[in-house]
Structure 1
């Protein structure tokens, strides 16, 4: 929120302990299905190519049988040529179908994950301030990146391997019975035994995967917070301390991942050992059949290949199961965010504001508690009427509720009781975007984006022309220094406007508010970061901007207080006095004390 007052709820530390890990069942992956269905063309093309590739794979052992029994057995060169040509034809079909399958499923994975990220990002930026107060931004970035990458692997690889392996396992079992029912029966006994360790290890893998991803998110969050405050870190010479913290977080993440990988390794090793042990035993029996003349060499070769294909596919399923457990954890974490619902809701049938908007503001018996501090009222039975075009200065000690007034006007939060009105319309009856379009905010610490100067100013009104943009910059006394930048208005300002001084950043923010040209202005001492010369110039620009507009100012300077139409003194969420500077000084109350300490040096 704009002000540095303590009535703004504190953000949680990036090193706060993560929530207790919750099991993320494979059922959470069902949430991916709607995103897959939005790419029906790619999905069907993938299924078709996968079907062709699977048929070619299952045809390969039969071609080998023909090669052995008819090609070698007949002794005819023409027969050998024909069987080898058949074998090569099957290989070509398999290669082309596999390439097509890889292309379609990989592109499907990219599009599904991009669609999921798009929806998640759109959802996150619409969630209310309460959610962002209690959630670490680094955690959100981790879910947008690391967890989404896990899902890319699922859709672009694991899903394809799982379906292909399932088809080949079923096809191999059918062909094993066609080749030799007795040996196939022996092989069938080994499959349930091989699947048993996968089932037993699933629960442990699911929990380990979720915990592992939480630890990675913790490390990402810590890095994000530290890099965002790198100047503070360097100013205190805390590079070794932050490095040790990040290394500790990484070590914990690696140790957690090691336990997960160990469990996966045991499951995979157990499954493959049991599968190929059973195959070896069956082949031993088949070799005796060939030796006794009860089976041809080609049939045994065919049986061996089908057994290898089926066994390899079951082994692949074991590995895919492990990947699916990790992805289920990622989807579970993403699903938690998508299930978050904002507490500040737009009305089903929004009411329109009267045109033109006059800017009359009313707080009527408003009571508000921040969700993070439910026992302490930020505003308590708060009543305030601001007339259209009036300039009201809000003064009071830290924690008095000044910034909360701004937050409620912008509907970052809704009051627990009481009513807020703009031009006699309850704010809760207005479409949120419509309400915020009527309000221009200039915070004490401006937020600039890592884009050009022009883009940062145009954020106030995206459709503004270049001439309007430059006029706003001139009004904010920003045009001069912008033109002196290397590329003028096209100069990239760096992350958070790092290439500008504090005063220049503030003037960019003021130009943004000038360009927005809203009927209500919220100023958190917009000139506090400027030098004396710039302050005079910007103050005169703001005075011109404030003419005919309703303005609420969180005041930190005497000049701002003196020019206000009315001063409202706040303490502990209540209005304790209001009037002009002279009237309040004469009362010798809280304002007089604040004036002596804060305004009159």
Structure 2
């Protein structure tokens, strides 16, 4: 039951809803008090009116009874609305915080954690928390108040009969503790499996074309079904544990109520209690027993919610690997002069023992057009990742205008770069929205101008809704060339000093490549351009070509110089690594 302490995670979120929480607690007090008062009313009615139906006071108490029922109905409705409202608001705020936090985490985190697990935490864990606050917590508080209130009234009516309840309580609590521990373990396992299932489904749906092209539908279905079956097995074990807990508690509770009724009957016969008092006592005993049963039944849900809170709190406590110094230098108003890699060595977090770059050194000056070539896996794309400080180097240093990247403000540093990968990210939305992503403050004319420079207008103007045309999930309705042009227009709109191209034309046909290359040549004027490429047509006009092999710089120079050297660059071309 230790994980119950994890519920303190909800405190700051509940404090934002304190007015609603106060109204909910008042409603809870009203409903609980109404039921407890009804027990005394029941005793009075049985003792005073069942024997004399013509008692003139009967109408007054009938009105009191209906007023009490009305108060109970109003209080219950208010409690339901405000607990539901609190639950919705708290869950929404947690979702917002978790998603916002995920946006600040370093790429290294997503390298070793599955997207499905993160989505599961944001969706499923917050739903569990919502159910806790919007329903289960309110029911638990109501049962606790009813148990305590009924217990006090029972002691005042008959300490002898109350003793039976005191003896029964530990017998009920012991199964709660035993089953509660098992339920906690199974709840955590169930939530982990739910995250794995989400990950499997998300990956399969995202890769549907590849799956169908390899006729692998059945293997993916089997994989998903195996994950579902594993989750089902755990869920059934969890349901069985809860069912056994509920059975044990209800059986023990109502056996105790029967014992109270049997033993209390002797007190009525002996004149030590009136029938009304016994009826009231039994009513309160049932309320007390029902409250214990309700607490037992809901304890599993509370434990499950505590596990969800524990996971959410742990996620929100994650710190980005890329940290910004308190006195980081702002580069926004700094004109680019040079970039220097000084003896840089780097390995990815998921493969710390394999160095992708080894003692790499080079310098890039203003307005230079640089091409980076080499075999696959040589570390070319990694250079671009390090420039934008998605990762920190293991050894050595990267300098921007003689300022170490770790000393620069991260946002201002990344603002210096416009990045176009081989497979550009296209968001679900319109062509216009995707271009505007490069600079959300840009006006309509600026967006259209960027689109024309990048040759987006060539295909967008032919669509029924032009720039307001929907591109589908991840741009599924666009061709590779169209995606690249939109990505280029986005980069143009960003208007950064340095253009980073990571195999930006390698997957295009020659017609689209020619269109994109022409657009790039226009954009790259008066800008530094760093291009990772395998195509000769992309690198031939570069001012300098860096040849990377086994993580190090083995050769540099212009195309003509390197060809004349008959070195590694010449060999790459001869072997077809540069076409």
Provide the residue aligned with 2:363 in structure 1.
385
Q: Is residue 458–residue 512 contact of structure 1 (8 Å, CA) maintained in 2? A: yes
TM-aligned CA distance change 1:293 to 1:355, over 3 Å: closer
The residue correspondences of 1:194-209 to structure 2 (distance < 5 A) are 194-209=172-187
Structure 1 window deviating more from structure 2 (464-473 vs 338-347): it is: 338-347
| TM-score calculated relative to the size of structure 1 | 0.94
1:147 aligns with 2:125: yes
Provide the residue aligned with 1:210 in structure 2.
188
Counting matched residue pairs gives: 579
Q: 1:174 aligns with which of 134, 146, 152?
A: 152
Q: 1:456 Cα shift?
A: 0.5
1:374 aligns with 2:352: yes
Provide the residue aligned with 1:132 in structure 2.
110
Separation (CA, whole Å) in 2 of partners of 1:325 and 1:186: 29
Structure 1 window deviating more from structure 2 (576-585 vs 330-339): it is: 330-339
Provide the residue aligned with 1:277 in structure 2.
255
Separation (CA, whole Å) in 2 of partners of 1:566 and 1:275: 84
Q: 1:359 Cα shift?
A: 5.0
CA RMSD of aligned residues (A): 1.5
Structure 1 window deviating more from structure 2 (93-102 vs 542-551): it is: 542-551
Provide the residue aligned with 1:38 in structure 2.
16
Instruction: Provide, for residues 257-295 of structure 1, a one-character-per-residue CA deviation record: whole Å limited to 9, x for no partner.
Output: 111111111111111111111111011111222123221
Separation (CA, whole Å) in 2 of partners of 1:359 and 1:529: 32
Q: 1:252 aligns with which of 230, 234, 239?
A: 230
Provide the residue aligned with 1:164 in structure 2.
142
Q: 1:356 Cα shift?
A: 4.5
The residue correspondences of 1:428-467 to structure 2 (distance < 5 A) are 428-467=406-445
Q: Is residue 541–residue 559 contact of structure 2 (8 Å, CA) maintained in 1? A: no
Give 3-state SS (helix, strand or coil) of 1:556's partner. coil
Provide the residue aligned with 1:14 in structure 2.
none
Give 3-state SS (helix, strand or coil) of 1:403's partner. helix
Instruction: Provide, for residues 289-340 of structure 1, a one-character-per-residue CA deviation record: whole Å limited to 9, x for no partner.
Output: 2123221111111111111111111110001101012112222222332222
Give 3-state SS (helix, strand or coil) of 2:104's partner. coil
Separation (CA, whole Å) in 2 of partners of 1:205 and 1:187: 26
Give 3-state SS (helix, strand or coil) of 2:500's partner. strand
Separation (CA, whole Å) in 1 of partners of 2:416 and 2:2: 44
Q: 1:301 aligns with which of 265, 279, 300?
A: 279
Q: 1:500 aligns with which of 471, 474, 478?
A: 478
Give 3-state SS (helix, strand or coil) of 1:523's partner. strand
Provide the residue aligned with 1:233 in structure 2.
211
Separation (CA, whole Å) in 2 of partners of 1:241 and 1:200: 40
Provide the residue aligned with 1:12 in structure 2.
none
Give 3-state SS (helix, strand or coil) of 1:481's partner. helix
Q: Is residue 506–residue 533 contact of structure 2 (8 Å, CA) maintained in 1? A: no
| TM-score calculated relative to the size of structure 2 | 0.97
1:332 aligns with 2:310: yes
Separation (CA, whole Å) in 1 of partners of 2:446 and 2:530: 25
Provide the residue aligned with 1:27 in structure 2.
5
1:70 aligns with 2:60: no
Q: Is residue 398–residue 404 contact of structure 2 (8 Å, CA) maintained in 1? A: yes
Provide the residue aligned with 1:510 in structure 2.
488
TM-aligned CA distance change 1:599 to 1:343, over 3 Å: closer
Separation (CA, whole Å) in 2 of partners of 1:597 and 1:486: 46
Instruction: Provide, for residues 142-167 of structure 1, a one-character-per-residue CA deviation record: whole Å limited to 9, x for no partner.
Output: 11111111111111111111111111
Provide the residue aligned with 2:401 in structure 1.
423
TM-aligned CA distance change 1:484 to 1:263, over 3 Å: same
Separation (CA, whole Å) in 2 of partners of 1:462 and 1:40: 36
Gaps of 5+ in 1: 1-22
Q: 1:597 Cα shift?
A: 2.8
Q: 1:24 Cα shift?
A: 7.5
Q: 1:600 Cα shift?
A: 6.3
Instruction: Provide, for residues 238-260 of structure 1, a one-character-per-residue CA deviation record: whole Å limited to 9, x for no partner.
Output: 11221111111111110111111
Structure 1 window deviating more from structure 2 (82-91 vs 465-474): it is: 82-91
Q: 1:186 Cα shift?
A: 2.1
> Larger RCO: Structure 1 or Structure 2 (Cα < 8 Å, ≥ 6 residues apart)?
1
Separation (CA, whole Å) in 2 of partners of 1:269 and 1:289: 31
Separation (CA, whole Å) in 2 of partners of 1:599 and 1:233: 28
Give 3-state SS (helix, strand or coil) of 1:72's partner. coil
Q: 2:329 aligns with which of 337, 344, 351?
A: 351
Q: Is residue 179–residue 302 contact of structure 1 (8 Å, CA) maintained in 2? A: no
Q: 1:49 Cα shift?
A: 1.1
Instruction: Provide, for residues 378-422 of structure 1, a one-character-per-residue CA deviation record: whole Å limited to 9, x for no partner.
Output: 111111110011111000111111111111111110012222122
Q: 1:61 Cα shift?
A: 0.7
1:54 aligns with 2:32: yes
Q: Is residue 24–residue 329 contact of structure 1 (8 Å, CA) maintained in 2? A: no
1:573 aligns with 2:551: yes
TM-aligned CA distance change 1:162 to 1:600, over 3 Å: closer
Q: Is residue 354–residue 423 contact of structure 1 (8 Å, CA) maintained in 2? A: no
Separation (CA, whole Å) in 1 of partners of 2:283 and 2:232: 40
Separation (CA, whole Å) in 1 of partners of 2:333 and 2:244: 71
Provide the residue aligned with 1:106 in structure 2.
84
Give 3-state SS (helix, strand or coil) of 2:198's partner. helix
Separation (CA, whole Å) in 2 of partners of 1:233 and 1:195: 52
Separation (CA, whole Å) in 1 of partners of 2:223 and 2:89: 36
Separation (CA, whole Å) in 1 of partners of 2:19 and 2:461: 51
Separation (CA, whole Å) in 1 of partners of 2:283 and 2:297: 21
Q: Is residue 556–residue 598 contact of structure 1 (8 Å, CA) maintained in 2? A: no
Q: Is residue 64–residue 87 contact of structure 1 (8 Å, CA) maintained in 2? A: no
Structure 1 window deviating more from structure 2 (37-46 vs 134-143): it is: 37-46
Give 3-state SS (helix, strand or coil) of 1:530's partner. coil
Separation (CA, whole Å) in 2 of partners of 1:483 and 1:354: 35
